[in-house]
Structure 1
Amino acid sequence: MFESIKNNWRILLLVVVVIAATVALFAPQFGPETAPGEDVSEAQQGVTNLQYGLDLAGGTRVRAPLVGYTATEVDFGGDPAPEVAEAVAAGLNDTSETDVSAVPEENAVEVTDSSVTESEFRAAMDASGYAYGDVRSGVTQETRDVAEGIIEDKIDQTGLSGGTVQQVQSLTGEYFILVEVPGEDRSSVIDLLEDRGTVAIDIAYPGDNGTEIQEDVLTQDDFEELGSAAQAERGSGAYVPVTVRNTAPEGEQSPAHSFQQAVADRGFAEAYNSDLDQCDYGANPDDVSNPCLLLTVDGEVVNSFGMDPGLADSMASGSWATDGGFRLTTGEFSEAERISINLRAGALPAELDISGQGTSRSISASQGENYKNYSLFTGILAVFAVAGMVFLRYREPAVALPMIVTALAEVYALLGFAALLSYPIELAVIAGFIAVVGTGVDDLVIIADEVMSEGEVNSRKVFNSRFRRAFWVIGAAAATTIIAMSPLMVLSLGDLSGFAIFTILGVLIGVLITRPAYGDILRRLLTVR
């Protein structure tokens, strides 16, 4: 028994790999993860745990650069980054200091205001007195990383199942943010990406010449805790419960105390004595009669509301800031959900240029299903074509059948890996599978030809000698394939990465598992002693 296992351990290893792939493909615990209360999208449901990418499930792909300019090789001269950014921003008209960043780690200064031209930025850099190498289009790596994380958070908060975000680089060196969301139409994805998500609270109050606005009484950084969007207990409204931060560095006033003071100064307690008192900003924005809280997203007012009398009294008395909790009220649940997403995810550090250099592509679910069927048909056709050529070549079932079974086991193992890693199957990945079938059968043909080239194999010693010669050939070919495919896998080239990853993975499985197992099978079938 032990001797039999020792002589056939490569075949047993292949069997174990096939069993493991079966578990990964069909065991429920390896299925797509869902958030609490979230259903797996129809595109991801099926008999197996395989997840399908945009090409096969339908959805939207958007590729766009972040808008901005970056000055490289900047000599900071020992000055702190905020001071450098402030000096550059001073040379730009109508540009906020928040749109200029200095990144010491990259020796770079960037501007993310879309209205600033390259010549204006160069002039500002020259006026700042800091020496620099050159100015290029685009933003720094730090900004791209932040933007990637924020978009991932937005997708997660929205519950878009299977959405992915990554940075890709073109052959000419430009960087793009690539977003793929299966099962969603183009308009919803574009709306999510174009929304930079800057949420703030303003106060509109009666002034001598009509409505006056006190801006940015609260900003995103002032919130300590953020609740989820919830439906109002009464009526059709919705709200987001929040808590304002009531701590601050020594000598500074906390956001909660600042907000409380602003509300008291604008007379909310006097204006809202009962539930009948209303904010009339929506009906008469130019001449309000009572002070109102304005909820703004990206500088646009999305809702206006008054204040509960009890909340207004607690702010007037100065007791509210101790707790700092209240509700951002909206008219629609979808609007409350959008505000919650923007508050949690934060604002994008730069605008995505979707309408300019960006590209987008949308695939319907029916079109994706057609691609899936065509891919399955192509795969089956490839298998039958390979099987037919093998039988024509050898006309010996003892050689041809194990060859075909081994090649199919290799693809099956790759599918198991894809299910285990939750890697989305796309057309490029399927092309990798087909390439693996072709190169795999090529290697098996080399093994069979080498073993049978000098006539009958009458001993295991002779078989092992011939097999080793063949294995050196296929090993060298595998190394060449891996080296050739590695740049495609490492560089951010979109779909080509998936093709390269699964081609390399298939080659490794072949060299380490399936080719040796095929050799053991041939040895058992062809040798006498």
Structure 2
Amino acid sequence: MLQIALWKRLGIALVCLAGLSLALPNLFYNRVERHNDAATAIERGAMPTDALEADLALWPDILPSGLVNLGLDLRGGAHLLAEVQLGDVYEARLDGYWPEVRDALREVRAEVGTIRRQDAPPGELRVRISRPEGLQTAIAAVRDLAQPIVSISGVGQSDIDVRGAGDTVTVTLSEGERAATDDRTMQQSLEIIRRRVDEAGTREPTIQRQGSDRILIQVPGIGSAQELKELIGTTARLTFHPVVTRAASADADVDPDQLLHPSMDEDGTFYLLERTPVVTGDDLVDSQPAFDQNGLPAVTFRFNPAGARAFGEYTSQNVGAPFAIVLDEEVVTAPVIRQAITGGSGQITGNFDVEEANRLSILLRAGALPAEMTFLEERTIGPELGQDSIDAGQVASLVAMAAVVVFMVAAYGLFGIFATIALGMNVALIFGVLSLIGGTLTLPGIAGIVLTIGMAVDANVLVFERIREELKTARGPARAIELGYERALSAIVDANITTFIIAVILFTLGSGPVRGFAVTLGIGILTSVFTAIFVTRLLIVLWFERRRPKTIEV
């Protein structure tokens, strides 16, 4: 007999209800998106405002709020191609070597005399000794600082090259270390850009390396390329330096082991600082917007154990001395150390508003870019172009669905109507699954959905044609329907498995638009098989149990 167990009926109904509820937020896309962005901002530490509270109230918390992310071609957004200035990292690395080189040469001062750092081209560290006859001793002492390169390509090589001439020792990074540094710098830049973009609440960005020193960045939903540049182009380099003295102009004498930075708040005031920082933003583990004791926006920070220890030791030994908090080569503040700061946390105050405090905390939390970036290409894709693409995709989908519906109803009558209802459920399930997994819909993805609409009726056609054949044996409509589903099952499974394998291959080997097409095609195959085998059959069974027809026409 034509029967479906109660537990199977409930299971089919629950899957359909779940798919509809997951797809529902996409009908109210803007409202749900604003709700989600507000919730994410508050979770990440943004200070609640009336605007955020209003956005939170746009969608009930008890309902699903997952959305299908729209790709750059559908939503508009920004496209950047950036070149990473890898040479900046070499200079920073050698600056970091200076304290070790200085200490090593001080241990052999009897042979090399006094030491002094000299001005040098980028990528070199030069140290002058007062006793040229001790040059080889100095070279040997510095070479003892060399470390093996931590990289597969640099096995057996050391990280620095040391040479000397006259009374000067020159230290440079070795070729193997430069290659390893380049690779680490690009990986770090990719990760930091991704974290900064994610922290800002954007959806499904494309961030990938191109060539040896370039990064492609595509972010849907952002207002302009300039806005994206402001978000990711700021180095946000936070350092803490001992203060040597204050200066009234940028023309003050600066030794090679010192820095001169302007004050962020005091025009015309400059600070002469020791070049080597006590701690850097690399030691930060968290940063959040807050308010200071005067109720003004500020930014709090917290160090990791190593940074907290170094900061605590320095402040313990220098009570009463000033130190400078430097952000992107500007002195934010230069307070006097009143007491040892051993808790590993602190606060940055300045002329911030709430928005600037939020953005600065994002940049510090994401970490500092290891090198400056030059933007070679920038492009803004307007949302109106994306809307045109969405409208065209909707028209194509509706035309395809209408054509399929007309054909199915004309060819199979009432059974064609059942197939049409299952087809609508199939589209809802596709969007429900995409919302559940946070998938991205692009123009090729829409093409995959349109193709799925056409393919979705294939299984129903196989079943209905098989039922027609079984009706000719005069076994009765119930038996004919049951045999039709049983004997068409193998053909349905075989046909869809082969297409699903192709979708998997496209997703695995393809990239960008090809993967978007493969995702919607693969999901559509799974949902179309479910709706054809279970949903359509359940509709037919419910109709048959209610009407009990003696004969049927397919």
TM-score, normalized by length of structure 1? 0.65
2:430 counterpart of 1:414: yes
User: Quick one: which of 230, 239, 248 aligns to 2:298?
Assistant: 239
Tell me which residue corresponds to 2:113: none
Q: Which whole-Å CA distance do the structure 2 matches of 1:146 and 1:9 have between them?
A: 52
What does the per-residue CA deviation read over 1:72-91, in whole Å, with 9 as the maximum and x for residues that have no partner?
Answer: xxxxxxxxxxxxxxxxxxxx
User: Quick one: which of 182, 205, 221 aligns to 1:182?
Assistant: 221
**SS of equivalent to 1:95:** coil
Tell me which residue corresponds to 2:363: 342
Q: Which whole-Å CA distance do the structure 2 matches of 1:322 and 1:145 have between them?
A: 33
**CA displacement at 1:461 relative to structure 2:** 4.6
Larger Rg computed on CA atoms: 2
The answer as to whether partners of 1:407 and 1:441 remain within 8 angstroms in 2 is: yes
**SS of equivalent to 1:295:** strand
AA aligned to 2:203 is G
**SS of equivalent to 2:446:** helix
What does the per-residue CA deviation read over 1:43-76, in whole Å, with 9 as the maximum and x for residues that have no partner?
Answer: x97899434424444433446686769xxxxxxx
Tell me which residue corresponds to 1:402: 418
Tell me which residue corresponds to 2:233: 194
**SS of equivalent to 2:223:** coil
**SS of equivalent to 1:205:** strand
Tell me which residue corresponds to 2:313: 257
Tell me which residue corresponds to 1:94: 122
Tell me which residue corresponds to 1:276: none
AA aligned to 2:396 is T
The answer as to whether partners of 2:23 and 2:428 remain within 8 angstroms in 1 is: no
AA aligned to 1:403 is A
What does the per-residue CA deviation read over 1:212-250, in whole Å, with 9 as the maximum and x for residues that have no partner?
Answer: 431243443575675523455659x7432345678689x
The answer as to whether partners of 2:208 and 2:216 remain within 8 angstroms in 1 is: yes
After superposition, where does 1:18-417 map in structure 2 within 5 Å?
18-26=16-24, 32=36, 33-36=39-42, 37=48, 39=52, 49=65, 50-53=67-70, 54-62=72-80, 94-95=122-123, 102-104=149-151, 140=183, 146-157=188-199, 160-165=200-205, 178-202=217-241, 203=243, 205-206=245-246, 209=253, 212-221=272-281, 226-230=286-290, 238-242=297-301, 254-258=310-314, 261=317, 264=320, 268=322, 293=324, 295-297=326-328, 300-301=329-330, 303-307=331-335, 311-312=336-337, 314=338, 319-323=339-343, 326-333=346-353, 334-349=355-370, 354-355=375-376, 360-392=378-410, 394=411, 396-417=412-433
AA aligned to 1:510 is S
Question: Alignment RMSD, CA only?
Answer: 4.9
**CA displacement at 1:442 relative to structure 2:** 2.8
AA aligned to 2:20 is T
Pick closer, same or farther for the CA change 1:68–1:405 going to 2, 3 Å. Answer: farther
Tell me which residue corresponds to 2:508: 490
Extract unaligned runs of 5+ from structure 2: 26-30, 43-47, 88-119, 126-146, 158-171, 255-259, 261-271
User: Quick one: which of 414, 425, 435 aligns to 2:451?
Assistant: 435
Larger RCO, structures 1/2 (Cα 8 Å, 6+ apart): 1
**SS of equivalent to 2:123:** coil
**CA displacement at 1:413 relative to structure 2:** 1.2
2:532 counterpart of 1:504: no
**CA displacement at 1:200 relative to structure 2:** 1.7
**CA displacement at 1:527 relative to structure 2:** 7.9
The answer as to whether partners of 2:287 and 2:299 remain within 8 angstroms in 1 is: yes
Q: Which whole-Å CA distance do the structure 1 matches of 2:340 and 2:281 have between them?
A: 19
**Mean CA deviation greater in 499-508 or 447-456:** 447-456
Q: Which whole-Å CA distance do the structure 1 matches of 2:182 and 2:550 have between them?
A: 65
Percent identity between the aligned chains? 18
The answer as to whether partners of 2:238 and 2:281 remain within 8 angstroms in 1 is: no
**CA displacement at 1:437 relative to structure 2:** 0.6
Extract unaligned runs of 5+ from structure 1: 70-91, 111-122, 269-291
AA aligned to 1:150 is I
Tell me which residue corresponds to 2:162: none
**CA displacement at 1:384 relative to structure 2:** 0.9
The answer as to whether partners of 1:11 and 1:521 remain within 8 angstroms in 2 is: no
Q: Which whole-Å CA distance do the structure 2 matches of 1:336 and 1:56 have between them?
A: 32
The answer as to whether partners of 1:229 and 1:340 remain within 8 angstroms in 2 is: yes
**CA displacement at 1:411 relative to structure 2:** 0.8
Q: Which whole-Å CA distance do the structure 2 matches of 1:383 and 1:475 have between them?
A: 23
**SS of equivalent to 1:472:** helix
Q: Which whole-Å CA distance do the structure 2 matches of 1:258 and 1:528 have between them?
A: 93
**CA displacement at 1:504 relative to structure 2:** 0.6
**CA displacement at 1:493 relative to structure 2:** 1.4
TM-score, normalized by length of structure 2? 0.63
Pick closer, same or farther for the CA change 1:413–1:93 going to 2, 3 Å. Answer: same
**CA displacement at 1:484 relative to structure 2:** 1.2
**SS of equivalent to 1:254:** helix
Q: Which whole-Å CA distance do the structure 2 matches of 1:109 and 1:26 have between them?
A: 60
Tell me which residue corresponds to 2:142: none
**CA displacement at 1:389 relative to structure 2:** 2.7
Tell me which residue corresponds to 1:448: 464
Q: Which whole-Å CA distance do the structure 2 matches of 1:163 and 1:238 have between them?
A: 28
Pick closer, same or farther for the CA change 1:182–1:436 going to 2, 3 Å. Answer: same
**SS of equivalent to 1:213:** strand
